[in-house]
Chains A and B, each alone.
Chain A
């Protein structure tokens, strides 16, 4: 199986500009076509150890990000996302091509991958114990997720929890972790060796930088995991680390609120979510110190003192 890194820059650009690069992320293959060098840069760095399928394979999703030619090339250059002739989103300034790439990769999954119950939330795993972190933006979920994977936890996903409906297992995506604003410097200080992409200022979510998924998480993305805990994190400056349990009923409703396709799945969605909640303990978690948070997560996974 070849990796993005095996292609070399010239071949990567040729594929992106031509028939498409077939990039594998977890269970999915995306056909990526782009004439934008920021996209080639991002894939070449943040995805360099991801597997690719050879031309002539099957892609689940088609992602075309183009910089329009003509006058637009010079005057406020833009990036446009095109899904088989439709433009579901307004164009963005060209400088935001990379964050847009990551967003549309999420959009493809959350709109179409109904084989899974898809919950908006991160998943990390250690010692066979997977923890789901569903949370609205601003709760510090991605920061916590990034810190955990910089300290030996396996990354399954930062944004999309995929619960396979057949067996209830969590299926890894292992794509980069999206860090916003202050989180970028926090993680830089916390893990100076971690690889972060170039920060992009001025997006609707502020400044964004992506943390590369740990190599081990990428290698293991055909290994699903069983969820044991569902934790709703909340960062609160100066707060003492506290974990409070959530009743099963509440847990069910809160996860349903964060699921993209719970209603679309009907009865199957209910059953799948009920099984997930049965398997897990639910907690509200308030933290301000990443080290304390990680120690607590290690204890949940039965690691350490």
Chain B
């Protein structure tokens, strides 16, 4: 079976004790691969949690500590920004539901430690989208997409508003009303997600900030990676799933109910892929019963070797050392597939045509 384990970084993420055998050139290679994959700070916490940090030689240790400093600053800024968003939306009486990176960070989940993210994703009920957008605009957030096609793309077909950026602070927010586009063939019911959301316990009582429930957090991470079409951070995203599984796997009922929840949300296929590739890549301890329950939801047998080949290439670190000739094709194929899964064929053809030929010209003209 092919695996992305041909790279040192993947070996270390799967088996952190591997670093005990590294010489200095090995450390240099590991740090370079980690930086390319945007997991430099994730690495420092992984080594710390495994009691390995104190044995790291002086020079690589300095770089790991530098990555920690960047991550801590990121965490401070994210906390501040979430606080601002909460007060910007306070008048609406809605729970503030965070998704992905911001959720992991604010809930202090292990999967949030050292993880950098570029925007804050929130989930709101579809019928409150207008109010939310207005409230954000009043507080200095502005849409970044002014092109008429992009406006239509987001507002008619997508599951989110066009990304908004704060005019003074420059941070970005994505306002979602669902986790898959309106045009996708499967439509996880947002009402189910909203109803199951969990409040983050604060030190001085509740803060009114929520995350999805553990099942939904795991499934959202899976659908984002395997239906999304963008694999720039593929390895990092796969490692998110691994860390979520390790953390929530100890909660009673997590593994037992996962497949049923995926079924209710129509997300059994991404769940299948997530479990397949975390276990193969990182050796995540997923109970045999859960794997067996997810097994029927894979792609047709003839397709599976192809999907393995594509995903395992796309999930390798982007570092040039780990690259092969096949990478570009794998990533492009998955990009088209990601869009295929989000739009019916005619609309997709139109979208790709527009992105390839019309958007660049509009950008040049602007």
Q: Which residue of B lies closest to A58 (CB)?
A: B24
With contact pairs A60-B63, A115-B62 given, residues A263 and B73 touching in the complex (Cβ less than 8 Å): yes
With A and B bound together, what is the CA distance between A113 and B65 in angstroms?
10
**Residue B347 lies at the interface, judged by CB distance under 8 Å to chain A:** no
With A and B bound together, what is the CA distance between A263 and B62 in angstroms?
19
Q: Which residue of A lies closest to B27 (CB)?
A: A58
Inter-subunit contact A84/B28 (CB<8 Å): no
With A and B bound together, what is the CA distance between A56 and B27 in angstroms?
11
Expressed in whole angstroms, the minimum distance between the Cβ of B28 and any Cβ of chain A is: 5
Considering only residues 80-111 of chain A, those with a C-beta below 8 Å from chain B are 84-86
Considering only residues 114-162 of chain B, those with a C-beta below 8 Å from chain A are none
With contact pairs A62-B32, A115-B65 given, residues A84 and B320 touching in the complex (Cβ less than 8 Å): yes
With A and B bound together, what is the CA distance between A14 and B104 in angstroms?
48
**Residue A305 lies at the interface, judged by CB distance under 8 Å to chain B:** no
Q: Which residue of B lies closest to A112 (CB)?
A: B66
With A and B bound together, what is the CA distance between A60 and B32 in angstroms?
10
Considering only residues 102-151 of chain A, those with a C-beta below 8 Å from chain B are 112-115
**Residue A266 lies at the interface, judged by CB distance under 8 Å to chain B:** yes
What secondary structure prevails in chain A residues at the interface with B?
loop
**Residue A10 lies at the interface, judged by CB distance under 8 Å to chain B:** no
**Residue B59 lies at the interface, judged by CB distance under 8 Å to chain A:** yes
With A and B bound together, what is the CA distance between A31 and B32 in angstroms?
12
Q: Which residues of A contact B323 (CB under 8 A)?
A: 85
Inter-subunit contact B69/A112 (CB<8 Å): no
Q: Which residue of A lies closest to B26 (CB)?
A: A58
Inter-subunit contact B70/A84 (CB<8 Å): no
Inter-subunit contact B66/A86 (CB<8 Å): no
Inter-subunit contact A266/B73 (CB<8 Å): yes
**Residue A38 lies at the interface, judged by CB distance under 8 Å to chain B:** no
Q: Quick one: CB contact mask for A53-96 with B, threshold 8 Å, 1 for yes?
A: 00011111010000000000000000000001110000000000
**Residue A264 lies at the interface, judged by CB distance under 8 Å to chain B:** yes
Q: Which residues of B contact A59 (CB under 8 A)?
A: 28
Q: Quick one: CB contact mask for B66-82 with A, threshold 8 Å, 1 for yes?
A: 10011011001000000
Inter-subunit contact B73/A264 (CB<8 Å): yes
With A and B bound together, what is the CA distance between A261 and B69 in angstroms?
10
Q: Which residue of A lies closest to B65 (CB)?
A: A115
With A and B bound together, what is the CA distance between A31 and B25 in angstroms?
11
**Residue A265 lies at the interface, judged by CB distance under 8 Å to chain B:** yes
Q: Which residues of A contact B66 (CB under 8 A)?
A: 112-115
Inter-subunit contact B69/A114 (CB<8 Å): yes
Inter-subunit contact B36/A84 (CB<8 Å): yes
With contact pairs A114-B66, A265-B69 given, residues A84 and B35 touching in the complex (Cβ less than 8 Å): yes
Q: Which residue of A lies closest to B57 (CB)?
A: A58
Inter-subunit contact B59/A60 (CB<8 Å): yes
With A and B bound together, what is the CA distance between A218 and B352 in angstroms?
56
Contact pick for A56, options B25, B65, B69, CB 8 Å: B25
With A and B bound together, what is the CA distance between A86 and B36 in angstroms?
8
**Residue B262 lies at the interface, judged by CB distance under 8 Å to chain A:** no
Inter-subunit contact B25/A58 (CB<8 Å): yes
Q: Which residue of A lies closest to B76 (CB)?
A: A266
Q: Which residues of A contact B25 (CB under 8 A)?
A: 56-58
With A and B bound together, what is the CA distance between A56 and B28 in angstroms?
10
With A and B bound together, what is the CA distance between A56 and B26 in angstroms?
9
With A and B bound together, what is the CA distance between A31 and B27 in angstroms?
14
Contact pick for A58, options B60, B72, B319, CB 8 Å: B60
- Which one of B24, B25, B65, B69 has the greatest number of beta carbons of chain A within 10 Å? B69
Q: Quick one: CB contact mask for B299-338 with A, threshold 8 Å, 1 for yes?
A: 0000000000000000000111001000000000000000
Contact pick for A112, options B57, B63, B76, CB 8 Å: B63
Considering only residues 69-101 of chain B, those with a C-beta below 8 Å from chain A are 69-70, 72-73, 76
- Which one of A31, A113, A114 has the greatest number of beta carbons of chain B within 10 Å? A114
Q: Which residues of A contact B69 (CB under 8 A)?
A: 114, 261, 264-266
Top 6 A-B residue pairs of the complex, sorted by shortest distance between their CB atoms: A58-B24, A114-B66, A114-B69, A85-B320, A264-B73, A84-B36
B→A interface (CB under 8 Å)? 24-25, 27-28, 32, 35-36, 57, 59-60, 62-63, 65-66, 69-70, 72-73, 76, 318-320, 323
30 pairs from A and B in contact (CB 8 Å cutoff): A56-B24, A56-B25, A57-B25, A58-B27, A58-B28, A58-B57, A58-B59, A59-B28, A60-B63, A84-B32, A84-B319, A85-B36, A85-B318, A85-B319, A85-B323, A112-B63, A112-B66, A113-B66, A114-B65, A114-B70, A115-B62, A115-B65, A261-B69, A263-B73, A264-B70, A265-B69, A265-B73, A266-B69, A266-B73, A266-B76
